[in-house]
Chain A
C-alpha cells in the first residue's frame, strides 16, 4: 500500500511549544502534501513539497522531506490552541493521479 503512517498517533503540548509530526511512506513519490482536519470538518490543505525539495516553509509551518528515508516531518512552531486538530500526510505514487492519506497525528495544544 502507498499509504503513509504518521508518528506519533497523538501529541499533546502546551501553547507556545513546537510540535513535530513525522510521516513515513513506502514507495517513490512525486510529491508529498500535509493536510489538517478539525474535528467534524473536512480536510484542509497546508503545504505541498516536491520530491526534489528538501525543506519548505509556510508561516509557522516547516516541512522537510527525505526521499532516501521515505519520510517527512511537519513542524509547527509557537503552537496555539487553535492548532488543535488532526494532521495527515498524503502521497502520490510516481505516475499516479491520486493521493493516499496516512493515518494521522492528533495534536492537542493546551492553552
Chain B
C-alpha cells in the first residue's frame, strides 16, 4: 500500500487566495483525520471523519475552513480566504480503528505558506 497520500507537499499563496489541500487515505481505513502543526501550537486536530461522515469539527478554527470527504478514498481541506496565520503544516491521517484504539497512519504533510 502506498500509505496516506497528500498533495500538494508545498503551497505558497497570497493572503485572500483559496487553498485546497487533498488527501487519499489508506484503502479500507474507516477514519480520516486532519491535523495542523505549528511551532506555537503543536499538533491540533481540526476535524475527523468516520465512513466519510464528519464526526467532530470542533477544532476547525473558523468558517474560513471547510473539509469534505465525498468518498472513501478522497478528502479535501479548503481555506477560503487564506490568511498569513494559516501558515502551517497540515497533516492527514487515516486509521482502521478509531484514533483512540488504533494506530494513525500519517501522510507526509502539506506545508502551507500564506504571504
Interface residues of A (CB under 8 A from B): 3, 30-31, 33, 35, 41-45, 48, 88, 90, 92-93, 96-104
Contacts and interface: CB of A to CB of B under 8 A. Distances in A.
Nearest to A5: B42
Given A42-B107, A43-B43, A92-B100, 7 more contacts: A33-B103, A42-B91, A48-B103, A90-B104, A97-B31, A98-B56, A98-B98
6 closest A-B pairs by CB: A92-B100, A42-B106, A101-B43, A97-B98, A45-B103, A99-B99
Most chain B CB atoms below 10 A, which of A42, A92, A93, A104? A42
B50 interface: yes
A97 B104 contact: no
A92 B95 CA distance: 14
Interface of B: 4, 31, 33, 35, 42-43, 45, 48, 50, 55-56, 91, 93, 98-101, 103-109
Contact of A97 (B93, B100, B106): B100
A96 B100 CA distance: 7
Contacts of A33: 103-104
A106 B4 CA distance: 24
B43 A88 contact: yes
A97 B107 contact: no
B98 A43 contact: no
A97 B42 contact: no
B33 A98 contact: yes
Contacts of A88: 43
Contacts of A48: 103
Contacts of B99: 92, 97-99
Contact of A3 (B42, B93, B108): B42
